[in-house]
Amino acid sequence: MRKGQVLLCSLLIVSCSLLPGLEFGLLLDQNVDYSRIGDDTFFNYMGILIPQATWLFGETGELFVSAGLNYQNDPWGFVPELLEARVFWRSRITDFTFGRMAYDDPLGYVASGLFDGGQVSFDTEAGTFSAGAWYTGLLYKRRASIEMTETEFANNNLPLDYNDFFNTYFAPRRLLWALDWGHMGLGERVLTRFSLLGQFDLTDEDLHSQYLVGKMIIPAGAFGFNLGGCFQLIQQGGEMYRAFSAEAGAAWTGSFHGLSLLGRYSSGYGDTLNAFVPFTAQTHGYVLQPGFSGLSIFSLDYTARLHRTFSLGLSTSYFMLTSSGLDDRRLGGEIFGGLYWSPVSDISINLGGGAFLPSLGNVAPDDDVYWRVELNAVISFF
């Protein structure tokens, strides 16, 4: 063995001995889907390889880093990204997180994802209070999924061009802040969380907004009920607009079966309200996959655990437009089913498929059925 190789091996051994709390992992996630809309068919492949490392320092500190190498078609190519790089530290009543970290609003569809910044939380008898601020301009645009304007929507769906990397890779430059309060047992029963969020546009789009978000979850034995809503103020071009969204749901969970009902509403264009514009764009449904703006969704989901390693899921949804002045509002309904197999905790393979039926609505009842099938496999190495 050469002297350089001996020195390298020695340095690695010494480094590992100096970092006894260091743990490594590797995650491989592969997804393939095939769909048909009218006479057009679409094939999509997305894969990502995620190495990650966790370093525990002291008794309450943690450094977590994960990166991703995406591989996809349309066009075929690799896209690298830094997923998380966060430092977490906890004292008796205080949590502090800094770096590239995850944040989710109480409803999960207003502002949800990875952001660059920091958050501090305080645990008190009156609940947990948190404050955070983040920047989005250094994120990979597809991961951030910020599409608040038509320009951002168009840019987010353009492929990465390495010849124009800085204009085709990064997410829009926006600043997000959040104040949160949550209580795990208000009145010894109700799980409650409220958030006040705001975002400042640092681009020429000049669209700023604030959100007051709240959600309550009420467990009752095998049943659970939830109710939430969001009031939004939008400022653009010297004008002020108001928007609103809400959700209500109920769920039953048995030993091997589960059933849930969920209704969601987001305001559209009207006389008193404007279209609801979430900070991060998320699709709803499995086949149609519309954005959550000017839309109502009603869904019924059923899950069954057929075996220790095998489960089944069925979902039905119905979509309606909410903007005023429309004679036809009902888009139609969809049904989707999935089979989920996890022989060990480190491996999961999922197969799903479904169809959207425009004939169940009156917006475009003569359109052909949309259908979609997908296969997903996740393998973890730790």
> Does residue 17 belong to any structural domain of this protein?
no
Residues linked to residue 123 through DSSP beta bridges, in sequence order: 128
Instruction: Count Cβ atoms within 10 A of the Cβ of residue 39 and give its class: 0-12 exposed, 13-18 middle, 19 or more buried.
Output: exposed
**Is the preceding omega at residue 106 within 30 degrees of 0, hence cis?**
no
Q: Which amino acid is residue 119, in one-letter code?
A: Q
Q: How many domains does the chain have?
A: 1
> Does residue 269 belong to any structural domain of this protein?
yes
**H or E segment at 247?**
strand 239-253
> Does residue 3 belong to any structural domain of this protein?
no
Q: Which amino acid is residue 291, in one-letter code?
A: G
> Does residue 4 belong to any structural domain of this protein?
no
Q: How many CB atoms lie under 10 A from the CB of residue 16?
A: 10
CA atoms of 64 and 56, how far apart (whole Å): 9
Query: Which is nearest to 243 in space by CA: 252, 251, 233?
Result: 233
Return the residue matching tokens 């899921």: 313
The CATH number for 303's domain is: 2.40.160.100
Provide the pLDDT for residue 184.
86
The answer to whether the Cα torsion of 91, 95, 99, 101 is positive or negative is positive
> Does residue 89 belong to any structural domain of this protein?
yes
- Mean pLDDT for the chain? 92
CA atoms of 47 and 187, how far apart (whole Å): 45
Query: Which is nearest to 77 in space by CA: 30, 35, 55, 45?
Result: 45
Q: What backbone phi and psi angles, to 5 degrees, belong to 367?
A: -70, 155
Return the residue matching tokens 């996630």: 29
> Does residue 14 belong to any structural domain of this protein?
no
- Domain holding 93, by residue range, is 22-381
Instruction: Please give the chain's pLDDT, 382 residues, in tens.
Output: 444 444 434 433 334 444 557 899 999 999 999 999 888 899 999 999 999 999 998 888 999 999 999 998 878 889 999 999 999 999 889 999 999 999 999 999 999 999 999 999 999 989 999 999 999 999 999 999 999 999 999 999 899 999 999 999 999 999 999 999 999 887 678 999 999 999 999 998 899 999 999 999 999 999 999 999 999 999 998 899 999 999 999 999 999 999 999 999 999 999 789 999 999 998 899 999 999 999 999 999 999 999 999 999 999 999 999 999 888 999 999 999 999 999 999 999 999 999 999 999 999 999 999 999 999 999 998 7
Provide the pLDDT for residue 20.
58
> Does residue 230 belong to any structural domain of this protein?
yes
Provide the pLDDT for residue 6.
41
| Cα–Cα separations (whole angstroms), residue 61 to 84, 129, 188, 379 | 16, 20, 31, 28
How many whole angstroms from its chain centre is CA 247? 17
> Does residue 307 belong to any structural domain of this protein?
yes
Do 282 and 264 form a contact (C-beta atoms < 8 A)? no
